[in-house]
Amino acid sequence: MMSFAGAKVLSFESRRANEMAELIRINGGDPFVAPALVEAPVEHNEQAFQFAERLYAGDFDMVVFLTGVGARLLQRILATREREDKFLNALRNVTVVARGPKPTAVLREWRVPVAISVPEPNTWRELLDAVKARPEKSVALQEYGRPNPELVHGLEGQGRSVTPVPVYQWKLPDDTAPIEDALKKLLAQGFDVVLFTTGVQIDHFLQIADRRGDRDAAVDALNRTLVASIGPDCSETLRSCGIDPTFEPSHPKMGILVRAAAQTYARERAQA
Q: Are residues 133 and 222 in the same domain?
A: no
Query: Which of 171, 196, 216 marks a domain boundary?
Result: 171
Q: Are residues 74 and 136 in the same domain?
A: yes
Instruction: Answer yes or no: is 201 within a domain.
Output: yes
Range of the domain at 63: 40-171
Task: List pLDDT tens digits, range 124-177.
Answer: 999 999 999 999 999 999 998 778 899 999 999 999 999 999 987 789 999 999
> How many structural domains are present in the chain?
2
Domain at 198, CATH number: 3.40.50.10090
Instruction: Answer yes or no: is 2 within a domain.
Output: no
Query: Which of 171, 202, 219 marks a domain boundary?
Result: 171
Q: Are residues 167 and 180 in the same domain?
A: no
Task: List pLDDT tens digits, range 226-265.
Answer: 999 999 889 999 999 999 999 999 998 999 999 999 999 9
pTM (2 d.p.): 0.80
Helix orientation angle between 84-91 and 68-79, rounded to the nearest 10 degrees: 130
Q: Are residues 127 and 207 in the same domain?
A: no
Instruction: Answer yes or no: is 267 within a domain.
Output: yes
